Amino acid sequence: MIRHGSFICAHVVCPVLPLLAISFLLPLPVAADDFSLSTMVQCDNGPQVPGISIPPGMATTSSAFCSTSTGTIVGTASALATFGALRGDADVSFNDHVSHFNTKSEYMDTLTLGGFVGDGFVQYEYVVDLEVASNAPGVVRLNTESRFVPCACLPPANSHLKQVFLSQLYPISAGKPFTLDFQLEAHFQGDFEAGYSHYNAYLDGLFVYDDHLGRIVDYQLTTASGHSPIVPEPASVWLLIGVAVWLVLSASRLSKRSRG
């Protein structure tokens, strides 16, 4: 939650995520300099799969199949990015040659804080929620700092971990734009075994302080994207985007079969 501040859409009307927005997919447009959503997945040493934008620009997703030389699909990898929330997934049904999945998702936006005078600081609260049954290290980056999520998981399998982090304090000035850069990288290392790794990372809070570290609660937040960076209900976002990913994977599978 934004915690007492108010969010104002800067350039567009505050959007409501429409259920019909996932009914078709468009190529990823060139991102504006002041905000962007990007994703990438890679299977072993294969080509990197860039993102596809889900209109009306609410999310970006990358998905890929990993298959044997005979065309048998052994696993899938996907990466998702939406405003304030990131996801990386790998699922391997059996593994006779696939040893690595790499996924990356990134949300970048330009924020401006107002409603107060002078300089101050901003601090973010974010959550990393993961479930793995594999050797699956990950890293979350917020601006200049990194958090390594240790998940070279040993028995018991199906490990589930949820952690809440507070970022460092970043200096800001009232009315002066600044950049928020939120990244998630997840890696699956199967070692010729079946398994999975599901990583979620999302922004859960934003705190504003004056230059003496006094809390400012009556501030105003605007963003270049027109979306709040804080995700109050990430589960509903992932449900909506999950359907879109299913459409991408289904289309990819049909294309693979038609070529075969």
Closest listed residue to residue 41, CA positions, set 162, 148, 199, 192: 199
Q: Is 165 exposed, middle or buried (0-12, 13-18, 19+ CB in 10 A)?
A: middle
pLDDT value of residue 122: 97
Distance CA 175, CA 154 (A): 49
**pTM across the whole model:** 0.79
User: What residue type is 129 in one-letter code?
Assistant: D
Distance CA 107, CA 100 (A): 24
Residue 86, domain extent: 6-14+22-259
Distance CA 129, CA 149 (A): 10
Contact 135, 190 (CB under 8 A): yes
The answer as to whether 87 is a domain residue is yes
Distances 26 to 58, 248, 252, 259 between C-alpha atoms, Å:
12, 11, 14, 22
How many other β-carbons are positioned within 10 Å of the β-carbon of residue 64?
24
pLDDT value of residue 147: 86
Distances 227 to 2, 200, 232 between C-alpha atoms, Å:
12, 19, 12
What's the average pLDDT block by block, 10 residues per block, for the chain (260 residues)? 55 31 29 78 84 78 78 81 90 69 92 96 93 79 85 54 90 96 85 76 95 95 92 61 56 50
Torsion, Cα 37 181 216 228, to 10 degrees, reads: 10
pLDDT value of residue 5: 64
pLDDT value of residue 168: 95
pLDDT value of residue 64: 83
Runs of H (alpha helix) within the chain: 234-259
The answer as to whether 1 is a domain residue is no
The answer as to whether 244 is a domain residue is yes
Q: How many domains does the chain have?
A: 1
Range 202-241 burial, b when 16+ CB lie within 10 A, else e = bbbbbbbbeeeeeebeebbbbbbbbbbbbbeebeebbebb
Contact 141, 117 (CB under 8 A): no
